[in-house]
Amino acid sequence: MPITITEEFIQSLASSKGDVLEAETLPPECYTDANFYEFEKEALFTHDWLCVGREEWVKEPGDYFTTSTVNEPIVVARNRKGELKAMSSVCQHRAMLVAEGSGNARGFVCPYHHWSYSLDGDLVGAPAMNKTCEFDRKANGLPNFKVEVWEGFIFINFDQNAAPLAPRLTHVQEAISGYDLANAEGPRPDPAPRLMWNWKVMFENNNDGYHASRLHHGPLHDFVPSEQASFPDAPKGAAGYLRFNGTLHPDASFNPTQKAVLPVFPGLSDEARNRMTFANIPPSLSLVMTSDMVIYLIIRPDSPETHYMDTGVLVAPGAMADEAYEHKMEMIMNSTSHIIAQDWHVDEMVQLGLRSRFAKRGRYSWQEGAQAQFNEWLVDRYLAEWDRRDPSAVGAAVAAE
């Protein structure tokens, strides 16, 4: 049965914050419960920046693509002025979606009753509505969202009052600046699979240094030992965090040679070429970065125990022009597919375990430092959301003023 979210439950989450050697894992209900998922949607996804894609997917005026997260259908377009726009793709008449897939268009026409919208979301046509009382065309445009581009990634925010994203990612941007991701190249990802586990299980696995030398033991991963994981401190209020993992040789890469086979990103320092870098901007973007390739993971929940994940790759400018590019990439992806299969099997089994009456709040190893940073980000937002909706907290705040 769904839990009742109480003051006691929310306050208990604070024990997941702080030093990784003192913290404990979040309660299993945070990964399985329908009521908590609804609370979490408001706490995180309504007010935080969500990655939805790459800027190169909408290069020209009229280019658009569609996506969704937490069951909100979204269309991203470049208008005639060259500006990026993100908006709901839900027609304001009878909720039909006005756009599907991707392409280039002069605007969006609802196929149901032919209400038409500009690339900015303005309602420009509504057939046979002239007799409808007090119908205001200007009040029936597609709801627009805030948009920000960071390192070539498009982020949206449902909250029009949200603070900018980039100033809170300075430490992450400095750590990955050698990749120059805004100018990196890569194909559009294939359609995302629906994965049968909670989105946080996925986000945690992406950043878990503890399991790497154990689950992935063998020639495809042993050059990235868990013992060489490190977790730089994130500034207070940061919107992201990092994990570094030293490698046994420079320019290590996930393929049978264990070394980069694609061109190395030219701006990387010697320090960056002797490690793998994991950059995380919760709740939606994880980056796995080697010297010759970046794998990006865009996570999009759709229920308490399922999510979609767009998986793409970025390479150095010019790398895709190599006649052998496809063959080299095939070699890399054959190796990474083995690692991904191991991860996904574990993720599915973790979700099954989290449903058990015997699942409990566990303790962390020092090699799970990224989980403590993720918890810090999460719990701060859970507590803030509880304060927003708790009348006693509101009353106390007013009295203090």
Tens-digit pLDDT profile for residues 91-113? 999 999 999 999 999 999 999 99
Mean per-residue pLDDT for 212-232?
91
Longest dimension (CA), the chain: 74
Please tell me the predicted confidence (pLDDT) of residue 150. Answer: 98
Mean per-residue pLDDT for 134-150?
96
Distance between CA atoms of residues 134 and 140, nearest Å: 12
What tokens does 132 get?
A: 């409808």
Among 55-69, 82-96, 121-135, 215-229, the minimum mean pLDDT is found in 215-229
Please tell me the predicted confidence (pLDDT) of residue 399. Answer: 44
Among 67-76, 265-274, 331-340, the minimum mean pLDDT is found in 331-340
Residue 400 clears pLDDT 70, i.e. is over it: no
Please tell me the predicted confidence (pLDDT) of residue 336. Answer: 92
Strands (E), 176-318: 194-195, 229-230, 241-246, 275-281, 285-289, 294-303, 306-314
Specify the pairing of strand 63-69 against strand 116-117: unpaired
Tell me which residue has tokens 């839990």: 3
For residue 284, which of 205, 178, 202, 222 has the smallest C-alpha distance?
202
Q: Edge to edge, what strands does the sheet with 285-289 contain?
A: 194-195, 306-314, 294-303, 285-289, 275-281, 241-246, 229-230
Distance between CA atoms of residues 385 and 214, nearest Å: 37
Give tens-digit pLDDT for 5-36: 999 999 999 999 999 999 999 999 999 999 99
Confidence of residue 3 (pLDDT cuts 50, 70, 90): confident
Please tell me the predicted confidence (pLDDT) of residue 391. Answer: 59
What tokens does 97 get?
A: 């979606």
Confidence of residue 398 (pLDDT cuts 50, 70, 90): very low
Mean per-residue pLDDT for 171-192?
96
Give tens-digit pLDDT for 278-297: 999 999 999 999 999 999 99
Mean per-residue pLDDT for 56-66?
98
| Burial tier of 135 (Cβ tally within 10 Å: 0-12, 13-18, 19+) | exposed
| DSSP assigned state of 14 | G
% of the chain at pLDDT higher than 90: 92
Please tell me the predicted confidence (pLDDT) of residue 207. Answer: 86
Please tell me the predicted confidence (pLDDT) of residue 389. Answer: 87
Confidence of residue 395 (pLDDT cuts 50, 70, 90): very low
What tokens does 172 get?
A: 């992450």
Mean per-residue pLDDT for 246-267?
95
Helix (H, G, I), strand (E, B) or coil at 397: helix
Please tell me the predicted confidence (pLDDT) of residue 392. Answer: 61
Please tell me the predicted confidence (pLDDT) of residue 200. Answer: 98
265 and 293 in contact (C-beta within 8 Å)? Answer: no
| DSSP assigned state of 24 | B
Q: Calculate the average pLDDT of the chain.
A: 94
| DSSP assigned state of 135 | -
Residue 87 clears pLDDT 60, i.e. is over it: yes
Please tell me the predicted confidence (pLDDT) of residue 333. Answer: 92
Mean per-residue pLDDT for 35-46?
97
Distance between CA atoms of residues 20 and 74, nearest Å: 37
Residue 396 clears pLDDT 50, i.e. is over it: no
Distance between CA atoms of residues 389 and 45, nearest Å: 16
Please tell me the predicted confidence (pLDDT) of residue 294. Answer: 98
Using the CB atoms, write b or e for 8-30: b if 16+ within 10 Å.
ebbeebebbbeebeebbbbbbbb
- CATH 3.90.380.10 in the chain, residue ranges: 166-377
Tell me which residue has tokens 């937490």: 70
Helix (H, G, I), strand (E, B) or coil at 115: coil
Distance between CA atoms of residues 363 and 20, nearest Å: 8
Distance between CA atoms of residues 285 and 53, nearest Å: 10
- CATH 2.102.10.10 in the chain, residue ranges: 50-157
Cis omega (within 30 of 0) for bond into 225: no
Sign of torsion over alpha carbons 255, 256, 262, 264: positive
What's 166-377's CATH class? Answer: alpha beta
Distance between CA atoms of residues 281 and 154, nearest Å: 12
User: What topology is assigned to 50-157 in CATH?
Assistant: Rieske Iron-sulfur Protein (2.102.10)
- As a whole number of Å, the CA-based R_g of the chain is 22
Distance between CA atoms of residues 357 and 351, nearest Å: 13
Residue 84 burial (CB count, 10 A): 16
